[in-house]
Amino acid sequence: MPAPALDSHTHLDIAVGGEDRLPTDAEVDAEVAAAAAVGIPRLVQVGVDVASSRWSAALAARHPSVLAAVALHPNEAGAGAATPEALAEIDRLAAQPRVRAVGETGLDRFRTGSEGWAAQEESFRAHIGIAKRHGIALVIHDRDAHAEVLRVLDDEGLPEHTVFHCFSGDAAFARQCLDRGAVLSFAGTLTFGNAGYLREAAAIAPVDQLLVETDSPFLTPVPHRGRPNASRLVPHTVRALAEVTGTDLEQLCTTLTATAERVFGPWQY
């Protein structure tokens, strides 16, 4: 990269350790160093349940390249995980100085059946409240629920900084999110051959309302599709975003970093 860029959404616990074990500190540090070596010195590590949110907060507390987001994922909430005790723990973690977002939260009507939608929405509303109370960003997971996510956001009122992680809508939906001041974070899906609608969405966004992410280990960008994703592969998505938006690559990297520090605050201080 001609200037430092970032990964606004990664799950290092899963990407490095796998589904069955947590990685060691040394393994995580090596992965973060590999990202820094290709021009990605800033990462946001995202929790999806109480355990991974605690892990994310602890990593951010000890590593200058990492900030944390904490939440109960909508699919966890849909399965009944958003108990008062669990939400209270997310609220406690959100007070830590290097926890800079509440997420990923939102609605997922792809993986969660209709029996879980009420619990999901209740949890989403609670997470919006936690983000506002702590004055930190909200990171939204929206899968097959665009209109419903906007309905809940409009009802609760958006926090000052709201990010649509792995933005998955078309240009018309992007317009609705941008008009509300939200930031759209694009994942490797932007590079997929069948994702013309995503490139159209990115193209209408002001450059300072854009972010990039891996969602690693998921959503690997072309040309590495089919292999596990990692923060060190986010440059593929940054280059695709520069092309789609007609922005000079160095200028885009600088703007992405500035946007990330506006939304999440500074990594080092």
The residue among 110 and 250 lying less far from Zn ion, judged by its C-beta, is 110
Strand order in the sheet with 66-70: 6-10, 42-46, 66-70, 99-108, 137-143, 162-165, 183-186, 210-212
Which residues, numbered 125-154, are part of the site for Zn ion (CB under 5 A)?
Answer: 141
Q: Considering the complex, what minimum distance in angstroms separates the CB of residue 249 from Zn ion?
A: 26
The residue among 116 and 242 lying less far from Zn ion, judged by its C-beta, is 116
Q: Considering the complex, what minimum distance in angstroms separates the CB of residue 124 from Zn ion?
A: 13
Q: Which stretch binds Zn ion (CB under 5 A): 102-110, 151-159, 220-228, 229-237?
A: 102-110
User: Which residues contact residue 161 at a Cβ distance below 8 angstroms, ignoring those fewer than 6 apart?
Assistant: 136, 137, 138, 183, 262, 263, 264
Q: Considering the complex, what minimum distance in angstroms separates the CB of residue 240 from Zn ion?
A: 19
Residues, the chain: 269
Q: Considering the complex, what minimum distance in angstroms separates the CB of residue 113 from Zn ion?
A: 18
Q: Looking at 74, 117, 215, 252, which residue binds Zn ion (CB under 5 A)?
A: 215
Which residues, numbered 71-90, are part of the site for Zn ion (CB under 5 A)?
Answer: none
The residue among 141 and 199 lying less far from Zn ion, judged by its C-beta, is 141
Residue closest to Zn ion, measured at CB = 141
Q: Which residues bind Zn ion (CB under 5 A)?
A: 104, 141, 215
